[in-house]
């Protein structure tokens, strides 16, 4: 049975923030016509709609425009706040990559390393297919990755496709998003204490929104903070049960359809 999202009586949000992959759109898919219509209706009702994603600006902005979202969006798991209209970073949270990269390289000498700058550009010591992560990537010597403040470190290793990075991360004490893609283990490290919720809070400050009058919709581990933070957190039905535990209600697991179900429950 398809779950029906439960909206509390009288709850009128000022902001709805939506994850992209497997929430707003299928993985590497397009925005559906139904979602575009639903976003248009809630915006006409005076409710702002934003994106909150792990993607970089280069792959977030086209999706936002296709969905009819034209204001501020949260990228890079909360490290960047970006204007869709100007394609420029409005706010960023950075850290020094040198200590992290030098320590990681001692344990993972053969891994591929990349850093993301405040403009969403990736610099890497060896080119790799970035997929939805970003369209802008440049190969540089490893030493060049250490010099400037950045918003994210990405590590890839074919050697760890089976065991993953869990033991290494636990040993080093990093807080990060860890997952496997095909035959490659992938580690994503951002600024400590930064997540989608922290930048959504900054967006609310900028626009004068009450965080208690927000809705967030997501499906994965990097969505848990914003699901718990929002006035109403909505998990996709395809989300792991521990992720759903952070949400207040559940919607359809079909990308796009689940989002539209929430939006339509507000304005239809």
Summarised one tens digit per residue, pLDDT across range 128-148 is: 876 666 667 899 999 999 999
Give 167's pLDDT tier (boundaries 50, 70, 90). confident
For residue 176, the model assigns a pLDDT of 58
Class of domain 15-92+194-267: alpha beta
Which phi and psi angles does 188 have, rounded to 5°? -125, 115
Half-sphere exposure of 196 (CA within 13 A, CB side): 34
Give 181's pLDDT tier (boundaries 50, 70, 90). low
- pLDDT higher than 90, residue 161: no
For the whole model, what pTM was predicted?
Answer: 0.92
CA angle 196, 199, 205 (to 5 degrees): 140
The answer to whether the CB of 184 falls within 8 A of the CB of 114 is no
Q: Is the dihedral of CA 126, 157, 75, 27 positive or negative?
A: positive
Question: Within 10 A of 95 (CB to CB), how many other CB atoms are there?
Answer: 18
Residue span(s) of the chain under CATH 3.30.1240.10 come to 97-189
Q: Above pLDDT 70, what percent of the chain?
A: 93
248 dihedral zone (left: phi>0; alpha: psi -120 to 50; beta): alpha
CATH number (3.30.200.20, 3.30.1240.10, 1.10.150.300, 3.40.50.1980) of 97-189 reads: 3.30.1240.10
More reliable by pLDDT, 157 or 15:
15
Residue span(s) of the chain under CATH 3.40.50.1000 come to 15-92+194-267
- Reported as a single tens digit per residue, the pLDDT across 196-249 is 999 999 999 999 999 999 999 999 999 999 999 999 999 999 999 999 999 999
């Amino acid at each position: 049975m398809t779950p029906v999202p439960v909206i509390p009586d009288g709850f009128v949000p000022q902001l709805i923030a939506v994850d992209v992959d497997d929430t707003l759109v299928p993985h590497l898919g397009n925005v559906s016509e139904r979602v575009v219509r639903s976003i248009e209706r809630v915006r006409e009702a005076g409710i702002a709609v934003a994106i909150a994603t792990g993607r970089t600006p280069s792959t977030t902005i086209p999706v936002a425009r296709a969905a009819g979202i034209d204001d501020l969006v949260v990228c890079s798991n909360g490290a960047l706040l970006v204007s869709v209209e100007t394609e420029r970073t409005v706010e960023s949270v950075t850290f020094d990559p040198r200590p992290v990269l030098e320590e990681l390289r001692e344990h993972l000498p053969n891994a591929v390393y990349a850093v993301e700058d405040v403009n969403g550009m990736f610099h890497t010591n060896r080119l790799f297919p970035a997929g939805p992560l970003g369209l802008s990537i440049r190969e540089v010597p490893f030493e060049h990755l250490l010099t400037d403040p950045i918003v994210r470190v990405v590590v890839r290793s074919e050697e760890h496709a089976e065991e993953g990075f869990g033991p290494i991360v636990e040993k080093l004490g990093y807080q990060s998003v860890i997952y496997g893609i095909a035959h490659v283990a992938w580690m994503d490290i951002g600024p400590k204490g930064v997540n989608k919720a922290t930048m959504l809070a900054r967006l609310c400050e900028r626009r004068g929104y009450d965080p208690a009058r927000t809705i967030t919709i997501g499906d994965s581990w990097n969505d848990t903070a914003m699901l718990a933070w929002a006035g109403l957190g909505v998990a996709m039905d395809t989300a792991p049960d521990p992720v759903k535990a952070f949400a207040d209600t559940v919607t359809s697991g079909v990308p796009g359809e689940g989002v539209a179900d929430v939006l339509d429950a507000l304005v239809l």
